[in-house]
Copies of this chain bind each other. A is one copy, B any other.
Amino acid sequence: MRYSKFFGKTTKDELKDTKFMSHYYLQKGGFIAESVAGRYFFLPLGWRVHEKIRQIIKEEMDAAGALEMMSPVLHPLELWEETNRTSSAGFELMKVADRRGANFALGGTAEEMFVDVVRNFQLSYRDLPFNLYQFSTKFRDELRARGGLLRVREFVMKDAYSFHVDEADFQEEYQKMADTYRRIFRRLDLETVMVEADNGYIGGEYCHEFQVESALGEGRFFAAADGSYLAHEDVAQFFKEDKNSQDDEQPYQQVPAVRGTTMTDGAELHQLPLWQQLKNVLYKNEQGEFILAVIRGDFDVNEVKLLHLTKSHQLTAATEEEIRELGSEPGFIFAGGLEDKVTVVVDDSIHTIKNAYTGANQKHLDSLNVNYPRDFTAHLEGDIAMAAAGFLTQDSHQPLEEKFGIEVANIFQLGHHYSRLMHHATFTDQNGDQVPFYMGCYGIGLGRTMAAIAEKHHDEHGIIWPTAVAPFAVHLITLGGDQAMAEKLYQQLTEAGVEVLWDDRDETAGVKFATADLIGNPVRLVISSRTGDQIEWKERSASNSELLTPAAVLAKLTK
């Protein structure tokens, strides 16, 4: 390809976003161009990378026995109503009506669509299992787009949906997909970690994210030093060490407490450790119900865990006014006595302490020697605690490290979530009974993967693409020199199937070298008046160069 007539050349515009180097280089290098915020054109250079990523994913999915197909982009809204997802908070669904009044969702994920097409075939256990995938544009009505391709409103996702007779069969596929993803990212030269994560609006019981570690990533997760435990902050569990659970329970008492409303104020007033204090956080869910989370004072409430435990869709902090209307007082909340008005949820760390202190539902009045369940009752008990750096893993008590990452892929157990919510999503089993499909789903975001590669593979001059996804294998620069030799080399390489971007413009050496470094193809070849009948070979990732004969260049590139 001759760069002179190539569309989407490097731009001299100074770009605002220099925090995310992937965004900076992809835009400056002519890989992408913004349409409106969060929506990008992939220019010819960027599309070549995108499509190489697609091809690698496709090869590995096919090798794993998955079947590529394609669903419509517009999903009949009634399918999303079958699964109660049109109103699920947190999912940024775009809706559109056609002129005949039919309502559609712009596909953001396609569980309902795939269940719908599968249930229309009357299948038996003999037809199972299978794993169906597609590469299709997904839409997310994000409030904030961020970091170029890292968080967008429109992107190509490889999404796959597998159908099984039972959990055991599904688990084989889940493992196979995890292995397949590891192979894919290895081919893409992208180091990922597989992190336990939250199922969110997808449903199901467990899932894993593939995270590319990056200080700029939006995903926060915790890892044991030896890698034996990796979990997103939403679900990370940790060892809640015993404090004084063996102590005798002292008599409950109330004491005057002229103090501020923070946890520190309480600890200072009573001169007791923070862990012995109860932290009480009052929420309201999307139904208007009040939920009081009670947790050890040295822990924070994990709202995602709380959401799941209470089966809520959305939680917002209660206002001071609401707290007072319930007969309590901000900063002095105590579950005892509120049990009829709110759902009390207690973290299981409650069992590690005795004789706790906290408020007493009146201003400047505190409770001492609070013991559970003697002094208050809970409607729900479970893990609602947020992990933190330094906390210990549950199993081997190793300290957790806090990490940030770019989530490039995920795999979900769906179980019977969709096949039970949707009618007739069943197959005939060996006994002739209709049984719901056991399902999983598996996604990879292509644009974000591309950005993550650029984020991990660049230097101060530009991107250094891994060979497998580089837009071109060779960046040929001519600066005067033997034109006939250049023409011949270009033709020989092209005929041998080596992709060459030939910078044949009438530009200076400085401009051409900078362009080559910015674009980041793996091998740069220079033919100039100085190279004589030889060619300068330099790899983008190396600092040294060497002079080779055309035959040697050809041999190296076609070996």
Binding site for B on A (CB under 8 A): 1, 4-9, 11, 33, 35-36, 39-44, 46-48, 50-51, 65, 67-76, 92, 94-96, 98-100, 102, 106, 113, 116-118, 120-121, 126-130, 132, 136-137, 139, 141, 143, 153-154, 505
Contact = CB atoms under 8 A, between A and B. Distances in A.
B141 A98 contact: yes
B120 A72 contact: no
**Which 9 residue pairs across A and B have the least CB separation, nearest first?**
A44-B67, A39-B72, A42-B70, A96-B96, A7-B130, A47-B69, A44-B69, A41-B117, A35-B72
Counted per complex, copies of this chain come to 2
A36 B95 CA distance: 16
Contacts of A129: 5
B153 A121 contact: no
Contact of A106 (B46, B92, B96, B100): B96
Contact of A9 (B6, B71, B121): B121
Given A118-B7, A127-B9, A41 B67 contact: no
A181 to B, nearest CB: 21
Contact of A70 (B41, B116, B120, B136): B41
Contacts of A73: 73, 137, 139, 154
30 contacts: A4-B126, A5-B127, A5-B129, A7-B69, A7-B118, A7-B127, A7-B130, A8-B67, A8-B121, A11-B121, A35-B75, A35-B116, A41-B71, A41-B117, A43-B69, A43-B117, A44-B67, A44-B69, A44-B132, A46-B69, A47-B68, A47-B69, A47-B70, A51-B68, A73-B154, A74-B139, A92-B99, A96-B106, A99-B143, A100-B143
A125 B116 CA distance: 52
Contacts of A154: 72-74
A74 B74 CA distance: 13
A139 B41 CA distance: 18
A75 to B, nearest CB: 8
Report whether over half of chain A's contact residues are helix, strand or loop; otherwise say mixed: mixed
A544 to B, nearest CB: 33
B67 A33 contact: no
Contacts of A35: 71-72, 75-76, 113, 116-117
A44 B72 contact: no
Given A73-B73, A98-B153, 20 more contacts: A6-B67, A6-B130, A7-B132, A35-B72, A35-B75, A36-B102, A39-B74, A41-B72, A41-B117, A43-B69, A43-B117, A44-B69, A47-B69, A48-B68, A51-B68, A73-B139, A73-B154, A74-B154, A95-B96, A126-B505
Among A9, A35, A117, A127, the most chain B Cβ lie within 10 Å of the Cβ of A35
A273 to B, nearest CB: 46
Contacts of A72: 35, 39-41, 154
Nearest to A100: B143
Contact of A8 (B40, B69, B128, B143): B69
A100 B94 CA distance: 11
A113 B141 CA distance: 20
A93 to B, nearest CB: 10
A46 B106 CA distance: 23
A43 B67 CA distance: 9
A69 B92 contact: no
A141 B74 CA distance: 12
B94 A96 contact: yes
A126 B94 CA distance: 42
Nearest to A156: B70
Contacts of A9: 121, 127
Contacts of A74: 39, 139, 153-154
B117 A33 contact: yes
B94 A70 contact: no
Contacts of A51: 68
Among A65, A92, A100, A136, the most chain B Cβ lie within 10 Å of the Cβ of A100
A68 B96 contact: no
A73 B40 CA distance: 10
